[in-house]
Amino acid sequence: MKITDIKTYLVGNPWKNWLFVRVETDDGLHGIGEGTLGQLARTVEAAVHDFKPFVLGFEPFQVEAIVERLSRDVFADGAQIKMCAISAIEIACWDIVGKALGQPIYNLLGGLCRDRVRAYANGWYRCPRQPQEFAQKAKEVVRMGYTAMKFDPFGTAWRRIDRADEDLSMDIVAAVRESVGRNIDLAIEAHARFEVSTAIRIGKRLEPIAPAWYEDPITHHNPRGIREVARRINVPIGTGESLTSRQQFVELLRGNAIDIVTIEPLHVGGILGSRKIADLVDGHNGVIVPHSAQGPICTLACLQIAACTPNFYMQEYFEPFNVTWEQDLLTWKPKLVEGNLEIPKTPGLGADLILEAVKAHPYHAEPDMALWEKDWQFRRSK
């Protein structure tokens, strides 16, 4: 079986265009993958097509050789752009391999470690930035069956935050905690907004709320700084979604200050790349939280990773808070049962793209949402 073609599809989700790929073979099997990178979706799409000559003629079973060829032989760094293109192809190859062998991907990477995947809700707080509004939305999330949720209360803060805005942020966090009780896990997202001293001060203010983790308080470009924040506060730090190489994770984990690692599969080479980093994290007694603020194929890949990874913790889940037509894009979607997502049982990723639905929602040229624009939490294109 040889790879004969790679096709791409840009899908116009209102706040972030999604990039899907379909890898085709000479015996009729195909696999699907995803390479979404927000505002750079068309750039990643171009990279996928640039990679095509390096991949055609390979067997889809040659996952390691394909990833090495694209990451090493294409002698450019490219970071997230390059890795999203590689990951899209890698995920699609695993989908083909699973279909060819009649097995879910997780059975090819060690088998089931669990029969369900605990999920946390994100994207649910599309409301005015006021404590009572966030509290009401949080109650709705709990009624849906979630036992955990993540949110960014910090508005448009950048590096520093004025006292009134900081107090409002803390009031939002306190209101959410009061509305859902102590048994619901809260993760506080910061989107790399702060410098070290501000991140530490806010982290100390979060301590009475007892968050499950405080995510990306400073930029990923400063691993020493994030370790310093982690050591100075009594709240776990979650970080890692922006990293693109195992070497970066080695540096992040140095000193054992970080033990919740938010792997983004599309940034690290896909499914097998994520498993390798999960093992590295396991060697430091940490856990992984797969990041999935992208499209539904990324979620399928995350479920495969979560199913077979011993040190998995929780899975990010956006889909119920996205556009309703997202439910029409795939032949199968996981159900949420008692705060947990179903694991797919069928070969490969467990679902296929419905191309008619994909083509019904073309790329939108308007700029995607930006985290430093007022009311960004409504997640609208500009």
Residue 79, pLDDT > 90, answer yes
- Indicate the pairing of strand 117-121 with strand 315-317: parallel
Contact 310, 286 (CB under 8 A): no
Average pLDDT over residues 237-243: 98
What tokens were used for 237?
A: 């730090």
Find the catalytic residue in 30, 284, 291, 361: 291
Q: Are 164 and 189 in contact (CB under 8 A)?
A: no
Confidence of residue 366 (pLDDT cuts 50, 70, 90): confident
pLDDT digits (tens, 9 = 90+) for 332-350: 999 999 999 999 999 999 9
Residue 81: pLDDT band (50, 70, 90) is very high
The pLDDT confidence band at residue 38, using thresholds 50, 70 and 90, is confident
User: What confidence score (pLDDT) does residue 218 get?
Assistant: 98
Examine the residue annotation and report whether 291 is marked as an active-site residue of this protein.
Answer: yes
Pairing of strands 260-261, 237-239: parallel
3-state SS class at 129: coil
Residue 30 is a catalytic residue? no
Question: What domains lie within the chain, and their CATH numbers?
Answer: 3-103 (3.30.390.10), 107-349 (3.20.20.120)
* Mean pLDDT rounded to a whole number for the chain: 97
CA dist 127 → 121, 124, 378 (Å): 15, 9, 6
- What residue type is assigned to position 38 of the chain? G
Note whether 232 and 225 are within 8 A (CB). Answer: no
- Mean pLDDT throughout 64-89? 96
pLDDT grade for 361, boundaries at 50, 70 and 90? very high
The end-to-end CA distance of the chain, in Å, is: 44
Residue 101 has pLDDT above 80, yes or no: yes
Q: Above 70 in pLDDT, residue 382?
A: no
- The catalytic position among 49, 191, 221, 267 is 191
| Contact call for residues 263 and 289 (beta carbons, < 8 A) | yes
